[in-house]
Amino acid sequence: MALLSNLTVLLLLACVSHQMMSGGHRRSHEQRGRGHKGHHGARYGSKAARQVNAVSAQWVKGKLVTKDKSVCTWTATGEDLVLLNVLCEKDGRSFSCGYSARPALCLHFTSNQELYWKQISRALKKHKKPCEDSNTLVKAAMCRRSPREAHFILHHAGAMKKDFPASAATAVSSCKSENKKLAEEFCIQSWSSFCTFLFTMIKDSDC
Protein backbone atom coordinates (compact mmCIF):
# COMPACT_ATOMS: atom_id res chain seq x y z
CA MET A 1 0.00 0.00 0.00
CA ALA A 2 2.84 2.39 0.89
CA LEU A 3 4.55 1.46 -2.39
CA LEU A 4 1.41 2.30 -4.37
CA SER A 5 1.16 5.68 -2.64
CA ASN A 6 4.79 6.47 -3.45
CA LEU A 7 4.27 5.55 -7.11
CA THR A 8 1.20 7.80 -7.27
CA VAL A 9 3.16 10.75 -5.85
CA LEU A 10 6.00 10.18 -8.33
CA LEU A 11 3.57 10.07 -11.26
CA LEU A 12 1.93 13.31 -10.14
CA LEU A 13 5.33 15.01 -9.83
CA ALA A 14 6.31 13.78 -13.30
CA CYS A 15 3.08 15.16 -14.81
CA VAL A 16 3.52 18.56 -13.15
CA SER A 17 7.15 18.73 -14.27
CA HIS A 18 6.18 17.85 -17.86
CA GLN A 19 3.48 20.56 -17.92
CA MET A 20 5.92 23.18 -16.62
CA MET A 21 8.56 22.27 -19.22
CA SER A 22 5.97 22.36 -22.03
CA GLY A 23 4.72 25.81 -20.96
CA GLY A 24 8.25 27.23 -20.78
CA HIS A 25 9.13 25.85 -24.22
CA ARG A 26 5.94 27.38 -25.71
CA ARG A 27 6.67 30.82 -24.23
CA SER A 28 10.25 30.71 -25.49
CA HIS A 29 9.04 29.83 -29.00
CA GLU A 30 6.51 32.69 -28.99
CA GLN A 31 9.18 35.20 -27.93
CA ARG A 32 11.49 34.05 -30.72
CA GLY A 33 8.60 34.39 -33.18
CA ARG A 34 7.93 37.95 -32.08
CA GLY A 35 11.61 38.74 -32.36
CA HIS A 36 11.72 37.51 -35.98
CA LYS A 37 8.68 39.59 -36.87
CA GLY A 38 10.33 42.64 -35.38
CA HIS A 39 13.46 42.11 -37.47
CA HIS A 40 11.42 41.67 -40.63
CA GLY A 41 9.53 44.88 -39.88
CA ALA A 42 12.78 46.83 -39.45
CA ARG A 43 14.12 45.59 -42.75
CA TYR A 44 10.91 46.53 -44.53
CA GLY A 45 10.95 49.96 -42.92
CA SER A 46 14.52 50.66 -44.02
CA LYS A 47 13.66 49.48 -47.53
CA ALA A 48 10.69 51.84 -47.64
CA ALA A 49 12.91 54.70 -46.47
CA ARG A 50 15.40 53.94 -49.25
CA GLN A 51 12.57 53.98 -51.79
CA VAL A 52 11.38 57.40 -50.60
CA ASN A 53 14.91 58.81 -50.83
CA ALA A 54 15.34 57.37 -54.31
CA VAL A 55 12.12 59.03 -55.43
CA SER A 56 13.07 62.39 -53.92
CA ALA A 57 16.55 62.58 -55.45
CA GLN A 58 15.23 62.92 -59.00
CA TRP A 59 16.57 64.13 -62.33
CA VAL A 60 14.09 64.49 -65.16
CA LYS A 61 14.15 66.32 -68.48
CA GLY A 62 11.92 67.14 -71.44
CA LYS A 63 11.56 69.06 -74.70
CA LEU A 64 8.73 71.23 -76.01
CA VAL A 65 7.68 73.97 -78.45
CA THR A 66 5.83 76.93 -76.90
CA LYS A 67 2.97 78.98 -78.35
CA ASP A 68 5.40 81.62 -79.65
CA LYS A 69 7.36 78.87 -81.47
CA SER A 70 10.28 78.82 -79.03
CA VAL A 71 12.03 75.43 -78.99
CA CYS A 72 12.84 74.65 -75.36
CA THR A 73 14.49 71.94 -73.30
CA TRP A 74 14.05 71.65 -69.53
CA THR A 75 15.66 69.73 -66.69
CA ALA A 76 14.47 69.34 -63.10
CA THR A 77 16.79 68.47 -60.21
CA GLY A 78 16.55 68.51 -56.42
CA GLU A 79 14.86 66.85 -53.46
CA ASP A 80 12.66 69.02 -51.24
CA LEU A 81 13.31 72.18 -53.28
CA VAL A 82 13.25 71.31 -56.99
CA LEU A 83 14.90 73.58 -59.57
CA LEU A 84 13.46 73.64 -63.09
CA ASN A 85 15.97 75.01 -65.64
CA VAL A 86 14.67 76.02 -69.08
CA LEU A 87 16.73 76.76 -72.22
CA CYS A 88 14.96 78.07 -75.35
CA GLU A 89 15.84 79.12 -78.91
CA LYS A 90 13.83 81.29 -81.30
CA ASP A 91 14.73 83.22 -84.47
CA GLY A 92 18.45 82.73 -83.96
CA ARG A 93 18.30 83.88 -80.35
CA SER A 94 18.66 81.82 -77.20
CA PHE A 95 17.55 82.53 -73.64
CA SER A 96 17.31 80.62 -70.36
CA CYS A 97 15.66 80.84 -66.98
CA GLY A 98 15.07 78.96 -63.76
CA TYR A 99 11.94 78.08 -61.79
CA SER A 100 11.69 76.64 -58.28
CA ALA A 101 9.00 74.77 -56.32
CA ARG A 102 8.36 72.22 -53.58
CA PRO A 103 6.36 69.50 -55.41
CA ALA A 104 6.18 67.30 -52.29
CA LEU A 105 3.56 69.73 -50.93
CA CYS A 106 1.24 68.34 -53.60
CA LEU A 107 -0.49 65.21 -52.25
CA HIS A 108 -0.59 63.50 -55.67
CA PHE A 109 3.07 64.13 -56.57
CA THR A 110 4.59 61.06 -54.89
CA SER A 111 1.92 58.64 -56.12
CA ASN A 112 2.25 59.54 -59.82
CA GLN A 113 5.40 61.48 -60.66
CA GLU A 114 5.38 60.52 -64.33
CA LEU A 115 1.98 62.17 -64.85
CA TYR A 116 3.11 65.16 -62.77
CA TRP A 117 6.07 65.95 -65.05
CA LYS A 118 3.95 65.49 -68.18
CA GLN A 119 1.55 68.10 -66.83
CA ILE A 120 4.40 70.47 -65.95
CA SER A 121 5.78 70.17 -69.51
CA ARG A 122 2.28 70.86 -70.86
CA ALA A 123 1.96 73.94 -68.62
CA LEU A 124 5.31 75.29 -69.89
CA LYS A 125 4.18 74.71 -73.46
CA LYS A 126 1.10 76.90 -72.92
CA HIS A 127 3.17 79.90 -71.81
CA LYS A 128 3.07 82.72 -74.36
CA LYS A 129 6.38 84.16 -73.19
CA PRO A 130 8.48 81.61 -71.27
CA CYS A 131 11.19 83.01 -68.98
CA GLU A 132 9.55 86.47 -68.95
CA ASP A 133 6.38 86.40 -66.84
CA SER A 134 7.37 86.18 -63.17
CA ASN A 135 3.76 86.39 -61.95
CA THR A 136 2.46 83.30 -63.73
CA LEU A 137 2.89 80.00 -61.88
CA VAL A 138 3.72 76.78 -63.72
CA LYS A 139 1.19 74.32 -62.30
CA ALA A 140 0.47 70.63 -62.75
CA ALA A 141 -3.27 70.06 -63.14
CA MET A 142 -3.20 67.34 -60.48
CA CYS A 143 -1.85 69.88 -57.95
CA ARG A 144 -4.26 72.71 -58.69
CA ARG A 145 -5.47 72.95 -55.09
CA SER A 146 -2.02 72.69 -53.51
CA PRO A 147 -0.38 75.64 -51.71
CA ARG A 148 1.48 78.26 -53.76
CA GLU A 149 4.91 76.87 -52.82
CA ALA A 150 4.04 73.60 -54.59
CA HIS A 151 3.95 75.37 -57.98
CA PHE A 152 6.94 76.53 -60.03
CA ILE A 153 7.64 80.25 -60.01
CA LEU A 154 10.26 82.14 -62.06
CA HIS A 155 13.22 83.17 -59.90
CA HIS A 156 15.84 84.15 -62.50
CA ALA A 157 16.11 84.74 -66.25
CA GLY A 158 19.23 84.89 -68.42
CA ALA A 159 19.86 87.59 -71.03
CA MET A 160 18.84 86.89 -74.61
CA LYS A 161 21.80 86.09 -76.86
CA LYS A 162 21.92 86.43 -80.63
CA ASP A 163 23.53 83.61 -82.58
CA PHE A 164 25.52 85.19 -85.43
CA PRO A 165 25.44 83.20 -88.69
CA ALA A 166 28.69 81.76 -89.99
CA SER A 167 28.25 83.58 -93.34
CA ALA A 168 28.85 86.96 -91.65
CA ALA A 169 32.26 85.87 -90.36
CA THR A 170 33.14 84.53 -93.82
CA ALA A 171 32.17 87.84 -95.46
CA VAL A 172 34.40 89.85 -93.09
CA SER A 173 37.30 87.49 -93.77
CA SER A 174 36.92 87.88 -97.57
CA CYS A 175 36.77 91.70 -97.22
CA LYS A 176 40.07 91.73 -95.35
CA SER A 177 41.66 89.66 -98.09
CA GLU A 178 40.43 92.06 -100.80
CA ASN A 179 41.60 95.12 -98.86
CA LYS A 180 45.05 93.60 -98.48
CA LYS A 181 45.29 93.08 -102.25
CA LEU A 182 44.27 96.71 -102.89
CA ALA A 183 46.88 97.92 -100.41
CA GLU A 184 49.60 95.92 -102.17
CA GLU A 185 48.49 97.34 -105.53
CA PHE A 186 48.29 101.05 -104.64
CA CYS A 187 50.75 101.40 -101.73
CA ILE A 188 54.43 100.69 -101.29
CA GLN A 189 55.37 97.69 -99.18
CA SER A 190 56.29 99.68 -96.08
CA TRP A 191 52.83 101.29 -96.07
CA SER A 192 50.95 98.08 -96.85
CA SER A 193 49.56 97.49 -93.33
CA PHE A 194 48.43 101.10 -92.95
CA CYS A 195 46.74 101.09 -96.36
CA THR A 196 44.97 97.82 -95.53
CA PHE A 197 43.62 99.45 -92.39
CA LEU A 198 42.41 102.51 -94.36
CA PHE A 199 40.66 100.41 -97.01
CA THR A 200 39.02 98.36 -94.26
CA MET A 201 37.71 101.52 -92.59
CA ILE A 202 36.41 102.92 -95.89
CA LYS A 203 34.75 99.71 -97.11
CA ASP A 204 33.52 98.53 -93.71
CA SER A 205 29.86 99.06 -94.61
CA ASP A 206 30.24 96.85 -97.68
CA CYS A 207 31.57 94.02 -95.55
Do 151 and 75 belong together in one domain? yes
Q: 103 in a domain, yes or no?
A: yes
Same domain, 156 and 188: no
Dihedral of alpha carbons 182, 188, 189, 193, sign = negative
Question: 156 and 63 in one domain?
Answer: yes
69/139 same-domain check = yes
- Rg, C-alpha atoms of the chain: 40
Q: 127 with 97, same domain?
A: yes
Q: Provide the domain limits for residue 93.
A: 58-162
What is the model's pLDDT at position 167? 47
Judgement on whether residues 70 and 156 belong to the same structural domain of the protein: yes
Q: How far is CA 152 from CA 139, 167, 188, in A?
A: 7, 40, 67
**Per the structure, how many domains does the chain have?**
2
What number is the average pLDDT over the span 193-200? Answer: 60
Q: Say what the pTM is.
A: 0.51
Asked if residue 36 belongs to a domain, the reply is no
Per-residue pLDDT at 155: 85
Together in a domain, 104 and 195:
no
Residues 127 and 194 in one domain: no
What's the pLDDT score for residue 7?
46
- pLDDT tens-place string over residues 36-85: 444 444 333 333 333 333 344 367 899 999 888 889 999 999 988 999 99
